[in-house]
Amino acid sequence: MENQWWKKAVFYEIYVPSFCDGNGDGIGDFIGITSKLDYLKELGIDGIWLTPFYRSPKVDNGYDISDYYAIDEDYGTMEDFERFLLEAHKRDIKVIADLVLNHTSSEHPWFQQSKSAKNSPKRDWYIWKDPVDSRPPNNWESFFGGSAWEYDDKTGQYYYHAFAKSQVDLNWKNEEVKQAMFSVMEFWLQKGVDGFRLDVINFLKTSDDFPDNPIDEKGKQNHVYDKDQEGILKTIEQICTNVRNKPGKFLVGEVGSEELHILKKYCGGSLLDVVFNFNLGSKKELDSKQFFSELKKMDEEYENDQIPTLFFSSHDMPRHISRFGKGTADQEKIAKLIAVLLMTAKGVPFIYYGDEIGMIDLHFDNVKNMRDVQGLTAYELAKEAGKGEEEAIRIANEEGRDKSRSPMQWDDSIYAGFSDVKPWLPVSSPSVNVKRQKGDPKSLFSHYQNLIRLRKQFPALYDGRYRLLEEKDRVIYYIREKDGEQILVVLNFNDKPIAFPMKDFASKTSTVLYPENKYEIENEPTINLKPYESVVIRL
């Protein structure tokens, strides 16, 4: 199991510019992260996923890399990174680096050489096409909105960008590109990182023929020919083989799909260790039937060594406490319910920074305070379509991703202890902070601590199969089993109390593991659960 340490691990995503400012400039950095490693150790996590920290003009906040071998100066120096890595490893915390293999910044020297002339040695490192009747080569749309093709006046051709026009897609059919990226991965593996989170990994291939994508009945483009193309799995297998030359490295892929039949193709065996299961993690409503359906499908459709991931927030989506709680009085109860599911269901769990204290989404009244290219593009397109300012701001808030990227809230001070100067993004809810919650046994932070501790204590919770997985009357319940150890988890998704029948489960040897000292279950016909309450029982 040593080389598959990640099966037992609890991961924690750090959005680097928003976690902790160590040098007082309002932007998170490695000095700041290093100063909070004891906090993360106290929380109980085993691995950190770092969002991109490489040199970048940050049009897409680091997912547009201009130098794969340098630390962006906003985040510190290479020495700061190396010290962070050393201190994390001293605390038995692994570090996973986010890596963008699909595209580079338009400021990367490779692209600057590529666009210099049609006969440039780096021309074929990117995807260039001639105009068709003075128009782009096809109808492909960027996933951020607008055309995926940008015209270059100097050479008279279009270059392809699946995302922002400053994020230029690499041509993975070119062997030199592949070897260059293998060298990048080797550099960071030599530094000591424990693996990679691979960004939009199913976009590395496009159709060779570049046909138009179909348009559905609502006028929306179906991205049929610009992702999940033939040959992509072979390429990913080569990437995985290259990384696994060093034992014990972990590879998690972001596959741009919410369809399980697509996601499952990319993991297990010689492919990625896991992929992010957006089929469950991106649900917009607290719907027990939808949750159950996806848990059931992941258990039934994943085969052999395929393992799902469990997450409900990230830097690319609204925080789940805001999605599911919607600002109601039950918001914290719902957050605790999701935490129990996250730490007891089958899969590798990922906590998004701040979720352990209940941080909520950030809302913008003025587009000038926004930083995210996706939100800003949505605003511009709305204005071009004739929308008024109020409607354009509403659309920008809906489409933008800054909402979940606000600074980590450490204390009650004006900028929540993140910084002594105005942070790069506003603070969302400073009254919700670490200082208030640490040491409070009833807090969400303590709740996460206890659940992580519980998960590590019982193999059935990190490596067990489902002996039972059911949903009834907005209650999801399951039994995880490993080497004779059986643990029952009951989650009440109702906004009212429920009585859960125990006659088929409890025995004289049954023990309530969570909440501690709450229930006596011997000879009791039911357990009475409050709204959004959960119980974990060792049978």
In a domain, 42, yes or no: yes
Judgement on whether residues 408 and 523 belong to the same structural domain of the protein:
no
* Segments in 345-488 forming alpha helices (H): 373-384, 389-399, 434-437, 444-457, 459-463
CA Rg, the chain, in Å? 24
The pLDDT value recorded for residue 518 is 63
The pLDDT of residue 337 is above 90:
yes
User: Please, which pLDDT band fits residue 512 given cuts at 50, 70 and 90?
Assistant: confident
* DSSP designation for 63: S
Judgement on whether residues 180 and 272 belong to the same structural domain of the protein:
yes
User: Please, which pLDDT band fits residue 522 given cuts at 50, 70 and 90?
Assistant: low
The pLDDT value recorded for residue 2 is 61
Q: How far apart are CA 438 and CA 236, in angstroms?
A: 42
Rounding to the nearest 10 degrees, give the CA dihedral for residues 302, 304, 306, 310: 70
Q: How far apart are CA 503 and CA 528, in angstroms?
A: 13
Instruction: Give the start-end residues of each E strand in 271-413.
Output: 274-275, 309-310, 348-352
Given 451, 473, 489, the domain boundary residue is 451
Higher pLDDT, 504 or 365: 365
369's CB contacts (< 8 A; 6+ apart) are 425, 426
CATH of the domain at 254: 3.20.20.80
User: Please, which pLDDT band fits residue 3 given cuts at 50, 70 and 90?
Assistant: confident
In a domain, 76, yes or no: yes
CATH of the domain at 118: 3.90.400.10
The pLDDT value recorded for residue 5 is 95
The pLDDT of residue 283 is above 60:
yes
Judgement on whether residues 203 and 328 belong to the same structural domain of the protein:
yes
The pLDDT of residue 8 is above 60:
yes
In a domain, 459, yes or no: no
- Nearest 5°: phi and psi at 373? -60, -35
* DSSP designation for 330: T
Judgement on whether residues 235 and 332 belong to the same structural domain of the protein:
yes
In a domain, 211, yes or no: yes
Least confident of 348-357, 384-393, 514-523: 514-523
CB-CB neighbours of 258 under 10 Å: 15
Rounding to the nearest 10 degrees, give the CA dihedral for residues 103, 105, 106, 107: -150
Taking residues 375-393, what's their average pLDDT? 90
Residue 323, SS3? helix
- Nearest 5°: phi and psi at 526? -145, 160
* Segments in 99-246 forming alpha helices (H): 109-114, 175-191, 232-243
Judgement on whether residues 129 and 235 belong to the same structural domain of the protein:
no
* DSSP designation for 502: -
The pLDDT value recorded for residue 373 is 86
In a domain, 87, yes or no: yes
Higher pLDDT, 329 or 315: 315
The pLDDT of residue 476 is above 60:
yes
The pLDDT of residue 523 is above 70:
no
Judgement on whether residues 92 and 76 belong to the same structural domain of the protein:
yes
Judgement on whether residues 238 and 306 belong to the same structural domain of the protein:
yes
In tens, the pLDDT along 404-413 reads 999 999 999 9
pTM here is: 0.95
Q: How far apart are CA 127 and CA 157, in angstroms?
A: 10
The pLDDT of residue 516 is above 80:
no
Judgement on whether residues 274 and 161 belong to the same structural domain of the protein:
no
Query: Is the bond leading into 131 cis (omega within 30 degrees of zero)?
Result: no
Given 145, 169, 193, the domain boundary residue is 169
The pLDDT value recorded for residue 526 is 82
Judgement on whether residues 298 and 185 belong to the same structural domain of the protein:
yes
Judgement on whether residues 194 and 269 belong to the same structural domain of the protein:
yes
The pLDDT value recorded for residue 122 is 98
Work out the end-to-end distance of the chain between its first and last CA atoms, rounded to an integer number of angstroms.
Answer: 26
User: Please, which pLDDT band fits residue 115 given cuts at 50, 70 and 90?
Assistant: very high
User: Please, which pLDDT band fits residue 517 given cuts at 50, 70 and 90?
Assistant: low
Domain encompassing residue 519: 464-538
The pLDDT of residue 510 is above 90:
no
Which active-site residues does the annotation give?
199, 254
Given 451, 486, 516, the domain boundary residue is 451
In tens, the pLDDT along 181-224 reads 999 999 999 999 999 999 999 999 999 999 999 999 988 999 99
In a domain, 456, yes or no: no
- CB 532, CB 335: distance < 8 Å: no
Q: Which residues of 500-523 are buried (b: 16+ CB within 10 A; e: fewer)?
A: bebeebbeeebebbbeeeebebee
User: Please, which pLDDT band fits residue 414 given cuts at 50, 70 and 90?
Assistant: very high
In a domain, 457, yes or no: no
Taking residues 62-84, what's their average pLDDT? 98
Q: State the chain's mean pLDDT as an integer.
A: 94
The pLDDT value recorded for residue 474 is 97
CB-CB neighbours of 130 under 10 Å: 8
Q: How far apart are CA 9 and CA 93, in angstroms?
A: 10
**Tokens matching residue 520:** 């006596």
In a domain, 223, yes or no: yes
Judgement on whether residues 22 and 114 belong to the same structural domain of the protein:
no
Judgement on whether residues 438 and 489 belong to the same structural domain of the protein:
no
CATH of the domain at 488: 2.60.40.1180
Domain count within the chain: 4
